[in-house]
């Protein structure tokens, strides 16, 4: 690849490409963080909705089974709300760290254990615990 000297206006084409690449990377990072915020908000909203739905069910038919379902829903809904808040916090922290590295000109490395994998494992555990609480006496 040929390196050209700055043009008559004094702009260095290689510097322009690097600057645009950093800008595009920052925009991609922003989109990813916003996707995490949407996902986290959806989890928290689903948690609140689950609790509300089973509360209504318990109020309309106050049997032992609906009380147990409502208690399980409270635990599951709370787990989803907490996961949503934690995922938002970690997404913000990750965004800030990567952005700081980009601004310093440091190399940005891939995470060994990505946030998406962590969240998938935690949601699986929460689902298994909720299932266990429904089938256990």
Banded model confidence at residue 69, pLDDT cuts 50, 70, 90: confident
Evaluate if residue 3 carries a pLDDT over 80: no
Give phi and psi for 83, each to the nearest 5.
-60, -40
Length of the chain: 137
pLDDT digits (tens, 9 = 90+) for 41-58: 999 999 999 888 888 888
CB 95 within 8 A of CB 29: yes
- Inter-helix orientation angle 64-104/115-135, to 10°: 170
Q: Which residues contact 93 (CB under 8 A, 6 or more apart)?
A: none
Q: What is the pLDDT of residue 17?
A: 75
Q: What is the pLDDT of residue 7?
A: 55
Mean pLDDT of the chain: 83
Residue 32, Cβ density class (10 Å: 0-12 exposed, 13-18 middle, ≥19 buried): middle
Q: What is the pLDDT of residue 92?
A: 92
Nearest to 39, CA basis, from 99, 116, 118, 98? 116
Mean pLDDT of 29-50: 92
Mean pLDDT of 79-84: 90
Q: What's the rounded Cα separation, in Å, for the pair 23 and 132?
A: 48
Evaluate if residue 85 carries a pLDDT over 90: yes
Domain ranges of the chain: 40-106+113-135
Q: What is the pLDDT of residue 89?
A: 93
Q: What is the pLDDT of residue 41?
A: 93
């Amino acid at each position: 690849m040929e390196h050209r000297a700055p043009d008559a206006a004094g702009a260095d084409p290689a510097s322009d490409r690097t600057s645009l690449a950093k800008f595009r990377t920052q925009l991609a990072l922003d989109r990813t963080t916003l996707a995490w915020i949407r996902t986290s908000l959806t989890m928290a909203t689903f948690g609140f909705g689950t609790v509300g739905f089973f509360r209504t069910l318990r109020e309309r038919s106050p049997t032992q089974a609906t009380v147990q379902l409502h208690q399980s829903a409270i635990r599951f809904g709370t787990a989803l709300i907490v996961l949503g808040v934690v995922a938002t916090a970690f997404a913000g922290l990750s965004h800030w760290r990567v952005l700081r590295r980009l601004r310093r000109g440091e190399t940005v490395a891939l995470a060994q254990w990505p946030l998406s994998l962590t969240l998938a494992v935690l949601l699986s555990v929460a689902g298994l615990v909720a299932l266990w609480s429904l089938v256990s006496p």
